Amino acid sequence: MKTKKINEVRKQIEYEYKRNSYPDGFPKIPDISGKRYTDQEFFDLEFKNIFLKSWLMIFREDEIPNPGDFKIFDKLQRDILIVRQKDKSVKAFYNTCSHRGAPVVREKQGSTKLLKCQYHSWAYDLDGSLLRVPDERDFLELDLSCRGLKQVHCDTWDGWIFISLQDKDPGSLKEFLEPVASEMDCFKSSELKTIWKNSTLVKANWKTCLDAFMEVYHSPTIHKDTVNILLDGNGMAAGLLKNGHSRMVTPKRINLDGGMLGAEGQDFVPFIETCDSIHAETNVAYAMFPNFITPTDTSGYVAILFWPKSLRETEIEYLQLGPKWEGKEKPQYWIDQETSFYSIMEEDFKNLEPMQKSHDSGVFEKMPLNYQERRIYYYHQTVDDWVGRENIKSEMIAEDILSPFIEK
């Protein structure tokens, strides 16, 4: 984060502590329709217009480090084949053979010199071009150059692989990720290691899940003995950023090594030297539209990805990144931190599934959001920008109210 921005955020925190009424000039946030969490048609529109179009962070580059390494990404109801190229770049394709549509590779992950379809052995180069067809004499006018694998937009940022399934040009990834990408530069994420990775299926709409990571209003209740001991929501400074992204900076009540309770006095506490001072004093969390949340710290960050499986089911993936260490054994710090992270997630999950049931009861019509919760509204209005308000039932629309409040 630039020094100017750090100073602005510090001022905002001071202002938040002093404030004892709703901020002057900030509009009333319209209620959000409860149907946005229970309507199948709306879910289908979201999936088609957001998840099948937007840039999406899928996994780390180091999962396919060498030319010929490939991995199937299957979280969007279709198999996408991600392949490390000979020149070390990454390409993505539908795992669908141009002959009769069989899956080209069957393994979830592997390494190969040639992508050979398991049905009739049509053979594709790593870049998706069709090289060889057995018994080619039996095809009339088969132009191999037009029968390559259907490519998917793919790019990388700081050690992460992103794809976009839209046919049109999705635009520059780096521009889409700004200003979050620049603010996160200090983590030098491409040099970090994946410490642990896991996922949980939560029986709740993807926005019910995501909303829960956009505010600290729930910390004194849901996380009374965990997050709330460490973070002080009274000084929380939220920032609405362009492209639907947002930032939440929450001051720490106490300064702890690596930001984790119980880490004090441990021999090894990871520390990223290039982190800005604000990361030591506060918890800086980002939301990158549409499905990535990350609370960060000087020890690294945990990437939380939300994958809608159905209207009422979300797969939440989480992956902790931190600096590499000497020696083979995982430091005690990370073993404790993983346990502590899961216990906090459990506190959220225990709340989310009953919430979905409650939303489904038919009485939940609309929800009023407060100033602290404005990132949630901004997020919903961005969902509607992507879905197209002309496609949404009028009573369910989240109008664009907060664009004038996006940070310049």
Which spans of this chain sit near ligand FES (rule: CB under 6 A)? 97, 99-100, 102, 117, 119-120, 122
Supply the minimum distance, in Å, between the C-beta of residue 272 and ligand FES.
46
Q: How far apart are CA 307 and CA 22, in angstroms?
A: 34
Max Cα–Cα distance, the chain, nearest Å: 81
**Nearer Cβ to ligand FES, position 97 or 204?**
97
Supply the minimum distance, in Å, between the C-beta of residue 97 and ligand FES.
3
Residue with tokens 């947002």: 246
Nearest CA among 402, 389, 380, 404 for reference residue 36: 380
3-state secondary structure of 154: strand
Angle at 331 between CA 326 and CA 336, to 5 degrees: 160
**Nearer Cβ to ligand FES, position 122 or 318?**
122
Residue 348 interaction partner, one of Fe ion, ligand FES, none, beta carbon < 5-8 Å per kind: Fe ion
Q: How far apart are CA 170 and CA 20, in angstroms?
A: 43
Q: Determine if residue 108 is left, alpha or beta; phi over 0 gives left, psi from -120 to 50 gives alpha, anything else beta.
A: alpha
Residue 126 interaction partner, one of Fe ion, ligand FES, none, beta carbon < 5-8 Å per kind: none
**Nearer Cβ to ligand FES, position 120 or 393?**
120
The residue ranges that bind Fe ion (CB under 5 A) are: 348
**Nearer Cβ to ligand FES, position 77 or 121?**
121
Residue 304 CB-half CA count within 13 A = 21
Residue 122 interaction partner, one of Fe ion, ligand FES, none, beta carbon < 5-8 Å per kind: ligand FES
Query: By the 8 A CB rule, do 402 and 32 touch?
Result: no
Instruction: Show Cβ contacts of residue 106 under 8 Å, excluding neighbours closer than 6 positions.
Output: 118
Supply the minimum distance, in Å, between the C-beta of residue 299 and ligand FES.
47
Residue 330 interaction partner, one of Fe ion, ligand FES, none, beta carbon < 5-8 Å per kind: none
Residue 222: Cβ-neighbour burial (10 angstroms; 0-12, 13-18, 19+): middle
**Nearer Cβ to Fe ion, position 125 or 348?**
348
Residue 119 interaction partner, one of ligand FES, Fe ion, none, beta carbon < 5-8 Å per kind: ligand FES
In this structure, the number of other CB atoms found within 10 A of the CB of residue 58 comes to 21
Supply the minimum distance, in Å, between the C-beta of residue 150 and ligand FES.
13
Q: Which residue is nearest to Fe ion (CB)?
A: 348
**Nearer Cβ to ligand FES, position 118 or 198?**
118
Supply the minimum distance, in Å, between the C-beta of residue 99 and ligand FES.
3
Supply the minimum distance, in Å, between the C-beta of residue 127 and ligand FES.
18
What's the one-letter identity of residue 318?
Y
Residue 99 interaction partner, one of Fe ion, ligand FES, none, beta carbon < 5-8 Å per kind: ligand FES
